[in-house]
Amino acid sequence: MRRFVLGSAIALGTLSACGAAPPVATAGDAARANIALAELEQGRTLLIRKCGNCHQPPLPASQPIAQWPAKVGEMSARSKLEAGQRELIEQYLVVMAPH
């Protein structure tokens, strides 16, 4: 039993290290987008919590800025996002995507 638990913990740690975490928003990011830093932080937290339940949360750089609204819309029903949550996640991804 100990071997199984230890092996599972090692495997889980290895898997979680494979993906990079979405970048943390800074005051500069918020100022550039003219939005509150707290909103970007909420968007990131929701992205990790809601999207991370099924798969590795996407990184802002993984899609062109123009594609994020449709991508978030496509996934919002599956992840049971409320409208405000969807807006915060989309805002975070668009602001944090490379310009």
The whole-model pTM stands at: 0.80
The residue assigned the tokens 């039993």 is 1
Average pLDDT of the chain, as a whole number: 85
Q: What angle do CA 55, 84, 58 make, to 5 degrees?
A: 25
Q: Is the pLDDT of residue 94 over 90?
A: yes
**Reduced to 3 states, what is the DSSP secondary structure of residue 1?**
coil
85 band by pLDDT with thresholds 50, 70 and 90: very high
Q: Is the pLDDT of residue 10 over 80?
A: no
**Whole-number percent of the chain with pLDDT over 90:** 71
Distances (CA, A) of 70 to 34, 67, 92: 22, 6, 14
- Over its C-alpha atoms, the chain yields an Rg (Å, rounded) of 16
The mean per-residue pLDDT over the stretch 27-44 comes to 98
Residue 88's Cβ-count burial label (10 Å; 0-12, 13-18, 19+) is: buried
